[in-house]
Amino acid sequence: MSIIDVRGLRKVYGTRAVVDGVSLAVEEGEVFGILGPNGAGKTTSVECVGGLRRRDGGTITVAGMDPATESTAFREAVGIQLQESRLPDKQTVSEALELYSTFYCHPRDWRELLERLDLADQRRTYFGRLSGGQKQRLSVALALVGNPRVAILDELTTGLDPAARREVWSLLEDLKGTGVTLLLVSHFMEEAERLCDRVVVIDHGRVIAADTPEGLAAGVAADERVSFVPSAPVDPAVLEALPDVHTVSVSADRMVVTGTGDVAAAVIIALHDRGVSVTRIRVDQPSLDDAFVALTRI
Amino acid sequence: MSAASALLKSEARLLARNPGVVIWTAVLPVTASIVLAAIPAIRRPDDSLGGLSFFQVYQPILVLFAITLLAVQALPDVLTRYREMGVLKRLRTTPVSPALLLFAQLALTMIVSVACMLLMVIVPALAGAAWPANTAGFLLAYLLAAWALLGVGMVIASLFRNAKVAAGFGSVLFFVLMFFAGLWLQRPLMPTWLRHISDFTPGGAAAQALTDSAVGHWPGLLHLGVLAAWGVVMSIVAIRQFSWE
How far apart, in Å, do the first and last CA atoms of chain B sit?
Answer: 28
**Sign (positive/negative) of CA torsion A211, A215, A217, A223?**
negative
pLDDT digits (tens, 9 = 90+) for A185-216: 987 778 888 899 999 989 888 998 888 888 88
What is the average per-residue pLDDT within B166-188? 90
Contact assessment for residue A195 and residue A176, using Cβ atoms and an 8 Å cutoff? yes
Q: What angle do CA B59, B60, B66 make, to 5 degrees?
A: 95
What backbone torsions phi and psi does residue A77 show, to the nearest 5 degrees? -85, -20
Q: How far apart are CA B205 and CA B211, in angstroms?
A: 10
Find the helix packing angle between B99-126 and B135-159, rounded to 10°. 140
pLDDT band (50, 70, 90) for residue B99: confident
State yes or no: ipTM above 0.90.
no
pLDDT band (50, 70, 90) for residue A222: low
Helix, strand, coil distribution of chain B in percent, nearest 5: 80, 0, 20
Query: DSSP secondary-structure letter at B74?
Result: I
Of 3.40.50.300, 3.40.1550.10, 3.40.630.10, 3.40.190.10, the CATH number of A4-219 is 3.40.50.300
pLDDT digits (tens, 9 = 90+) for A111-120: 988 888 888 9
Contact assessment for residue A201 and residue A24, using Cβ atoms and an 8 Å cutoff? no
Q: Is B16 on the interface with A (CB under 8 A)?
A: no
Q: Is A102 on the interface with B (CB under 8 A)?
A: yes
* pLDDT of B230 higher than 60: yes
Q: In chain A, where are the structural domains located?
A: 4-219, 224-286
| % of chain A surpassing 90 pLDDT | 39
Q: Best interface-test mutation with B: which of A54, A103, A124 has the largest number of B CBs within 10 A?
A: A103
What is the average per-residue pLDDT within B10-22? 89
- Give the residue on A whose Cα is nearest the Cα of B1: A102
Q: In chain B, where are the structural domains located?
A: 3-241
- Give the residue on B whose Cα is nearest the Cα of A49: B93
Q: Is B99 on the interface with A (CB under 8 A)?
A: no
Q: How many Å lie between the alpha carbon of B229 and the closest alpha carbon of chain A?
A: 33
Structure confidence at residue A179 (pLDDT)? 84
Q: How far apart are CA A197 and CA A31, in angstroms?
A: 5
pLDDT band (50, 70, 90) for residue A298: low
Average pLDDT, chain B: 89
Q: Confirm or reject CATH 3.40.630.30 for domain A224-286, answering yes or no.
A: no
CA dihedral B181, B186, B187, B188 (to 10 degrees): 160
pLDDT band (50, 70, 90) for residue A238: confident
pLDDT digits (tens, 9 = 90+) for B133-162: 899 999 999 999 999 999 999 999 988 888
Contact assessment for residue A60 and residue A48, using Cβ atoms and an 8 Å cutoff? yes
Query: DSSP secondary-structure letter at A25?
Result: E
Contact assessment for residue A62 and residue A3, using Cβ atoms and an 8 Å cutoff? yes
Structure confidence at residue B33 (pLDDT)? 86
Structure confidence at residue A221 (pLDDT)? 59
Contact assessment for residue B204 and residue B182, using Cβ atoms and an 8 Å cutoff? yes
* pLDDT of A274 higher than 70: yes
What is the average per-residue pLDDT within A232-258? 85
Q: How far apart are CA B136 and CA B142, in angstroms?
A: 10
